[in-house]
Amino acid sequence: MEAIATNFGIKEALNQLGIKAVNEGTSTGSNNFSNGDIIDSFSPVDGELIASVKSTTREDYEMAMKTATQAFKTWRLMPAPQRGEIVRQFGEKLRENKEALGKLVSYEMGKSYQEGLGEVQEMIDICDFAVGLSRQLHGLTMHSERPGHRMYEQYHPLGVVGIISAFNFPVAVWSWNTALAWICGDVCIWKPSEKTPICGVACQNIIAEVLRENNLPEGISCLINGDYKVGEFMTKDTRVPLISATGSTRMGKIVAKEVAGRLGKSLLELGGNNAIIVTPDADIKMTVIGAVFGAVGTAGQRCTSTRRLIIHESIYDKVKNAVADAYKQLRIGNPLDETNHVGPLIDKDAVKMYENALERVVEEGGKIVVDGGVLSGDGYESGCYVKPAIAEAENHFEIVQHETFAPVLYLIKYSGDVENAIEFQNGVAQGLSSAIMTNNLREAERFLSHAGSDCGIANVNIGTSGAEIGGAFGGEKETGGGRESGSDAWKIYMRRQTNTINYTTELPLAQGIKFDL
């Protein structure tokens, strides 16, 4: 850690964020009252221990919930525009700490520094979005069938919102939820991934400073740490009306069942098996850029990563060769070095999954186009660096039907018209992101039609990876159906109430029912 910390300013970033590195002799607790086991956070960049947190015990959780529910009583009474002002201040703190937090994201998770900065920018953007939204939490008015009556709808905060986030976006997804939940009047309790707990501590330190400066209860934002057992504290807790969970489809099904069993609400952002359709009318240069970034960005560990490239047979070889040539230019190494394109996978379990996928695609009849493999030697000591690989495959292969959270891209050939490609695109269990590369207006509109892509995100002439804050983010089928971030995603964090006011001296009933006394 010493060389990387010195050369890339990791120590300074940790200090700025209020984190004490372990080589300074101090571990960082997840909160002031944790009593659980130690969770060590190792960087996939160099395998070094960054810092440690304490896992949350049942007693710790109860204390956090008590703090949160008490804070809700104060927070919900603050006018929404005033809550928006607190979120605005949080956004300003993020601007001040953007470089430091971006470095921590890069070092703890393994994504490139530019992507780390981009993730913090997402946090800033959602704060800006939420500030404006704090003056637009609108309901509807409607005409009553009864004379002298007025009807309208209004929205009220839910209470305590539970957030379970994944390692691949260790800070942004939390902010998508909290920024909106906060302006809606909710308080939040967050369990970050046990693979990236230090990012969670850093975020908590930033918002805690804002709350202290405004004399607001610390329970507006609570942090708990641990594995799935800690997550179960929230999913089983009737005091938490909404659980927002990001992760694998397997995890999401467990959460959904548990929360539904107590008639709670769940917001699920689960797996993706995303494809780009490349038609004969595609711009090849644009296609290569979109496909390569989509497949290797964050080392293939985005839920929106491009897994499948569905190419028309008439241009198949041309596209295959162009993408393979682009892969030769990729530089793999320390993600804090901005000359590198691809950093490490999160851990050695992810490496095993990557190796298994390459073995399986060959066993099922596929062919490796660009060789993969685990890198070793100087700079690769963590054992988490792999070479992005490309394989020719069929859409029905079992390994293709599943999401592999690693830089493995499958090339799939289609013939005939675009309907056949769309059938391949939709022919998986997941439904998050999709894209088509074409300059043919009819093909583009067909892709976006009711009979087109069945995903929550459908793009034309851009890749599958990356999304703007303004639009709702989420997918269908085994992706879970949740929506976060922009548009009207705020409504999931509130309960809707219909109100009828009678301002007459009579009491007429609806539907003309007579009930005279």
**pLDDT recorded at residue 21:** 62
**pLDDT recorded at residue 5:** 60
Query: Is the model's pLDDT at 23 over the cut of 60?
Result: no
In 3-state terms, what secondary structure has residue 17? coil
**pLDDT recorded at residue 35:** 76
What are the CA-CA distances from residue 10 to residues 1, 4, 99, 299 (Å)? 9, 7, 10, 21
What does the alpha-carbon distance between residue 332 and residue 353 come to, in Å, rounded to a whole number? 19
Kindly state the average pLDDT of the residues 29-40: 69
What does the alpha-carbon distance between residue 343 and residue 189 come to, in Å, rounded to a whole number? 31
Kindly state the average pLDDT of the residues 238-249: 97
Q: Give the active site residue among 194, 269, 443, 484.
A: 269
Q: Which run of H or E residues covers position 223?
A: strand 221-223
Closest CA to 386 of 428, 332, 433: 332
**Contacts of residue 214, Cβ cutoff 8 Å, sequence gap at least 6:** 86, 89
DSSP alpha helices (H): ranges in 157-248?
A: 172-183, 197-213, 228-235
Query: Is the model's pLDDT at 368 over the cut of 80?
Result: yes
Domains of the chain: 2-270+483-496 (3.40.605.10), 274-471 (3.40.309.10)
What does the alpha-carbon distance between residue 27 and residue 444 come to, in Å, rounded to a whole number? 53
**pLDDT recorded at residue 24:** 38
DSSP alpha helices (H): ranges in 9-145?
A: 10-16, 58-75, 80-96, 98-109, 113-133
Closest CA to 422 of 465, 459, 453: 453
pTM (2 d.p.): 0.95
**Contacts of residue 135, Cβ cutoff 8 Å, sequence gap at least 6:** 80, 81, 84
Query: Is the model's pLDDT at 84 over the cut of 80?
Result: yes
**pLDDT recorded at residue 2:** 53
Conformation bin of residue 225: beta by default, left when phi > 0, alpha when psi is -120 to 50: beta
Q: Kind of pairing, strands 408-414 and 306-312? A: parallel
Q: Which run of H or E residues covers position 485?
A: strand 484-485
Would you mind telling me the total number of residues written for the chain in this entry? Answer: 517
Closest CA to 141 of 130, 154, 131: 154
85 is catalytic: no
Contact (CB, 8 A) for 280 and 416: no
Half-sphere exposure in the Cβ direction for 190 (13 Å, CA): 36
**pLDDT recorded at residue 8:** 87
Query: Is the model's pLDDT at 31 over the cut of 60?
Result: no
Q: If you average pLDDT over every residue of the chain, what do you get?
A: 95
Question: What's the token pair of residue 437?
Answer: 């590369």
